[in-house]
Amino acid sequence: MRLGGWKSSIRDILIELSESRAEFDFHADGLVLQEILDFLEYKGVKGDGRIYGHLPIGVEWRQGIRFSFGDGFFETRPQTGRLQFSKENAMAILGITDEVDPKKASNQETVRLMMLKALQDMEYTELKIIFRNEDKGWMAHLQTQGYGPRGEKENQIPIGGLDININNLDELLNSMILPKLGVSQIKFGNK
C-alpha cells in the first residue's frame, strides 16, 4: 500500500465477526517522518528521515469504531536526521516554565538555555519510538540522541538519551484519527 511517500503493508489479518473485531500488523517501510507529523497535526515539531518498524492494531466496531494498539516500535533509518522542536515544546521537555534572561542566568539556567537552543534545531543520531501496553494504558517512549544546534559545530551541545513519554496515546490517536477518516459517528453491529 502507498499513501503519498508512504510505503506500508498489513500482515497477519484476523477478523472475528462474532466479536466485532479485527486485528492486523501494520509494517512501515520508509514512511516519511514529516508526513506522519503532519497527518497527526503534531504542532511544534518538524523532522526528517524515514520510519521503519511494525505495530499491532485492533479495530472494534460493536459500539462504534475504536482502534487499539499493541507492543511495537518505529525507528529511523539511516540513523541520522533533523528534529526541530518549537521553543514552547522544547521548554516543556526541559521543564522550563518561565523565560530566562541570558544576562542574569545562573550556571544551571545557562545549561538549560543551551539545551533549549539545541532542541530547536537538533541533528539526531538515533530516533526510536517504542510502544507498550502498560498499567497506565498504551504508552509511547520516544528515545533520541544527537546534538544541536546544527551548523554551529563550535557551539554544539550533545543531547544524550533524551526520552519523552506519552501516556494514554490510544485515547489521543482515537480522538485524532477517527474524525480524519470520517467514521467517528458510524456505528456497526446490533443495537
d(CA 80, CA 122): 10
Cell numbers linked to 77: 533509518
Query: Who has greater pLDDT, 4 or 42?
Result: 42
Q: Does residue 23 surpass a pLDDT of 90?
A: yes
Q: Does residue 5 surpass a pLDDT of 70?
A: no
40 secondary structure, DSSP code: T
Q: Taking residues 119-130, report their average pLDDT.
A: 91
Cell numbers linked to 134: 502498560
- Report helix, strand or coil for 187: coil
Three-class DSSP labels, 70-111: CCEEEEECCCCEEEEECHHHHHHHHCCCCCCCHHHCCHHHHH
The count of other CB atoms within 10 Å of the CB of residue 21 is 16
Q: pTM (2 decimals)?
A: 0.73
Tell me what the pLDDT averaged over the chain comes to: 83
**Of 124, 131, 132, whose CA–CA distance to 161 is shortest?**
124
d(CA 125, CA 163): 14
Which region among 122-131, 137-146, 171-180 has the lowest average model confidence (pLDDT)?
Answer: 171-180
Query: Who has greater pLDDT, 41 or 100?
Result: 100
Q: Taking residues 25-29, report their average pLDDT.
A: 91
Query: Who has greater pLDDT, 53 or 178?
Result: 53
* pLDDT at residue number 79: 82
Q: Express each pLDDT in 145-154 by its tens digit.
A: 999 888 777 8
